[in-house]
Amino acid sequence: MGESKYRAREPDATGVIHYSSDDHQVWHDLMARQSKAVKDVACSQYLHGLTLLDLPPDQIPQLEDVSSVLRAHTGWEVAQVPALIPFDRFFDLLAHKQFPCATFIRTREDMDYLQEPDLFHEIYGHCAMLTNPFFAEFTQTYGRLGYGANKEDRVFLARLYWFTVEFGLLQTARGLKIYGGGILSSIGETEYCLTSTPEHRDFNIMDVLRTPYRIDIMQPIYYVLEDMKQLFDVARSDIMQAIRTAKQKGLFAPTFPAAPAMKHVS
């Protein structure tokens, strides 16, 4: 993985991580803004998990406080990691029911968008769903498969993660709702994803594995689960066989323009 401009904070001798007053204020402002944005559009499983976590509105929670709730419901924990970690480490943590979380929070300049995951994205966006057994089982299975996969297969697995854990939608009796953490931690994506602008497709693992994406734009396509158990069913299916078939079929044509070329300065 690349280099991050952020540095994770280390715990003191007692295991407590100390954050600055600016960090706590950013957390407060993100919590206030996002909690208002998601209350009517997040799925009930996420909102229930958020209630269980009982995140403090005015200060960044300690990871152990989050882990204690997750352990009680699904056996998961939050693992402190540097800002960026190798893919092997990422998959290994998930396989052992440890969700990686870098202990830094975005600066005020990056409030609306941050490509690399900070603790607000990880804790507020993802940890609430990890109280759900179906979601938790899927995520652990994903880690196991990813750890044993080769580089080419990991690219296909990344699409599965992207269109579920990060940017997944759920069909409910009350209409489309959000469960993906990449959406739920982003004010812009939360407001955009349920509009008529993007395309909403029924979840099908073969289609998901063949769908290209870009990380730096609003998503043109979202995949919609019929219910949360569908993730559990996917976890129990032969995902690696699906990847082999997807390779043979090839990728769909992108529905977005190519990313701008990186400028090299000599």
Please tell me whether 166 is known to bind a ligand: yes
pLDDT at 186: 95
CA distance 152 to 76: 28
Over range 14-30, report the average pLDDT: 97
Q: Are 134 and 179 in contact (CB under 8 A)?
A: no
Q: What is the pTM of this model?
A: 0.94
Per-residue model confidence as pLDDT tens digits over 207-242:
999 999 999 999 999 999 999 999 999 999 999 999
**Residue 1: pLDDT above 80?**
no
Per-residue model confidence as pLDDT tens digits over 40-83:
999 999 999 999 999 999 999 999 999 999 999 999 999 999 88
pLDDT at 215: 93
Active site residues: 121, 126, 166, 185
pLDDT at 204: 97
Please tell me whether 64 is known to bind a ligand: no
CATH class of 21-248: mainly alpha
pLDDT at 265: 46
Find the angle CA(66)-CA(70)-CA(76) to the nearest 5 degrees.
115
CA distance 11 to 128: 23
Token output for 40:
């009517």
Residue 17 backbone dihedrals phi, psi, to 5 degrees: -100, 130
pLDDT at 262: 54
CA distance 31 to 265: 38
Please tell me whether 18 is known to bind a ligand: no
Over range 133-162, report the average pLDDT: 98
